Amino acid sequence: MKLTTRRLILRPLAIADARILYEVGSREDVSRPAGFPRTRSLAASRARVRRTIAACRKGDPKPLSFSIVLKTGGTWVGSVSLGWPHAGIGQLGYLIHPDRQGRGYATEAVRKVVETAFARFGAHRVQATCWVRNAGSARVLRKAGLRREGTLRGYLKRSGEVRDEYIWGMTRADWRARR
C-alpha cells in the first residue's frame, strides 16, 4: 500500500531504508526523545527492517510501516507506522530526520495514516504516546487532531531513566467530527 499527501509519498518500508534508519536511529538526539534504544549497527537496522516487513506481510489487520519521502525529489524525510495492539485500536509511531523537522512533514504523514486507519481499516480509536519533554512530538499529535488524554506516569524505562509519557487519542467520532 502506498499513500500520498500534498507533499509526501508514504511508501512501504524497504530493506534499502535500513541505512538511513540506522544513520538517524543511532543518534542520541533522535532516539532519546522518541523513546527507543539507539540503533547500534547497520546489521541491527537491517534485521529490524526485515522483522518489520515480515510482520506487515502476515498481520491481520496488517500493521503498516512507511518511509516518508518528498514527492518532489524523493528525499527520505522519515518514517511512520500504525500497529494494532488491540482489535480496532491503531497505535501510531513516527520519526522525522532532524534536518527535516519543523516543516510539517510529520503532521501531514500522521494525518494521512489516521485517515487510513479509520476509513480503510475501520479503527474505532487511534492513539500515540510521547515523552512529556518532547514538545515537538506533542505538537505533531495535537495538529493531527489527537487529544492529550492523560499522563502515563513511569511508563518507559530507557537507559536507566524512568520517564512519563503523554497518551494521545482520537476516536472514530472525533475523526468524523473533524471531516
CB 3 within 8 A of CB 73: no
CA distance 65 to 10: 9
Please give the pLDDT value at position 143: 96
Please give the pLDDT value at position 55: 78
Which amino acid is located at 147 in the chain? Answer: R
Long-range pairs for 53-58 at CB < 8 Å and ≥24 separation? 53/12, 53/13, 53/14, 53/15, 56/12, 56/13
DSSP state of 44: H
Task: State the cell numbers at 61.
Answer: 489487520
Number of domains in the chain: 1
Please give the pLDDT value at position 59: 66
User: How are beta strands 125-131 and 89-96 bridged, if at all?
Assistant: parallel
Domain that holds residue 65: 3-178
Question: pLDDT tens per residue, the chain (179 residues)?
Answer: 899 999 999 999 888 988 888 888 877 777 776 767 777 888 888 888 888 878 777 766 778 899 999 999 999 999 999 999 999 999 999 999 999 999 999 999 999 999 999 999 999 999 999 999 899 999 999 999 999 999 999 998 877 789 999 999 999 999 999 88
Q: Is 26 helix (H, G, I), strand (E, B) or coil?
A: coil
Please give the pLDDT value at position 162: 92
Q: How many CA atoms lie within 13 A of 113 on its CB side?
A: 36
CA distance 76 to 53: 18
DSSP state of 18: H
- In 3D, which of 2, 12, 22, 15 has the Cα closest to residue 51? 15
Residue corresponding to grid cell 512519563: 164
CATH (domain of 20): 3.40.630.30
* Cis omega (within 30 of 0) for bond into 63: no
CA distance 35 to 165: 9
